[in-house]
Amino acid sequence: MDPLELLVTNDFLRVLDMIGVAVMGVAAGALAARLKFDAVGFAIIGIVAGLGGGLVRDLILDYGTPAAFDGPWYLACALVGSLFAFVISAEGAWWRRLVTVLDIAAMALWAATGTAKSFGYGLEPLPAILLGVTSGVGGGVIRDVLVGRIPAIFGGGPLYATGALVTAIGTWVVVALGLPSPYVLIAVGLGALLAAVASWRRWKLPAHGDWQVTMSASQLKALVRRTRRSERERVAHETGAIPVVDATVDDLAADVGFLDGEAGEYAERAFLDHDGDDIEFPQYDATGSENDTDPDDDRPQEKGRAP
């Protein structure tokens, strides 16, 4: 299949493409109404939202005159959509759902036609898919930038860009396998279905903070200390001996049990049933070095020495 067949000979897809432009004009007009734009604002925001992705695509492809300006129909569809939103106030829930569904369908269709057009002009698969996604979501990005807000596809919104990517990949498969052009509608349906279900179920891609380790250095060190203490208690319980930590090679030697607040109680628990001579445990300072203490000293024993 010649990829350009989608745009040159398939009148059905071209009609759907223009309907998508009009729908995007309506959706952009609804945003302009919330922001209290005047008639000029409605017209500009409708044109940008409906035609922005295609303009970017055609400029990158060095297409010549962009398709949006190669005749009056695309501009007329964008203006009709924004005019409809300017004249008719439609704020009901059912209307918003209808516009959302049509908006998603238009996005998927643009992703398919943008990908096919990119293949037709000789682009490799990866650039063609990227340009197809740009065709699908580029108008919405430019619209959001114009009104001073973060583009919805950057996070927190429905999976529009993901749906466009699925459609673009599906279009590439159809072109690569040489299937008839109507099969592209399957790719359009898959991408639109994903975006619609994501909007309904409020699915979102993981944000940056969802993958971060939020423990501070002190919290991480405390976790290591608790883990090491638990391990020492397990070893003492199973073997009756306290693990030896070499301060010269272990940079966490200062965290051994003898430095803990319950060091004496720990030793008593570990050697409660010991039947031999009294056991003396070495004392360590904060650097892990052993303190020299006379075992025959009559002064009260320091905490950490077995009674």
Residue-wise pLDDT for 125-179, tens only, equals 999 999 999 999 999 999 999 999 888 888 766 788 999 999 999 999 998 998 8
User: If you average pLDDT over residues 74-82, what whole number do you get?
Assistant: 93
pLDDT at 259 over 50: no
Last residue of a domain, one of 211, 231, 258: 211
Note the pTM of the prediction, 2 decimals.
Answer: 0.66
For the chain, how many helices (H) and strands (E)?
Answer: 10, 0
Of 279, 111, 298, whose CA–CA distance to 188 is shortest?
A: 111
Quote the DSSP letter at residue 295. Answer: T
pLDDT at 112 over 50: yes
Statement to judge: residues 15 and 117 lie in one domain: yes
Statement to judge: residues 200 and 217 lie in one domain: no
Query: Among residues of the chain, what percentage have pLDDT more than 70?
Result: 71
Statement to judge: residues 201 and 233 lie in one domain: no
At 184, which amino acid appears?
V
Statement to judge: residues 175 and 221 lie in one domain: no
Statement to judge: residues 93 and 225 lie in one domain: no
Residue 104: give the domain boundaries.
5-211
Statement to judge: residues 170 and 301 lie in one domain: no
pLDDT on residue 303: 45
pLDDT at 122 over 70: yes
pLDDT on residue 227: 84
More confident residue, 42 or 232: 42
Total domains, the chain: 2
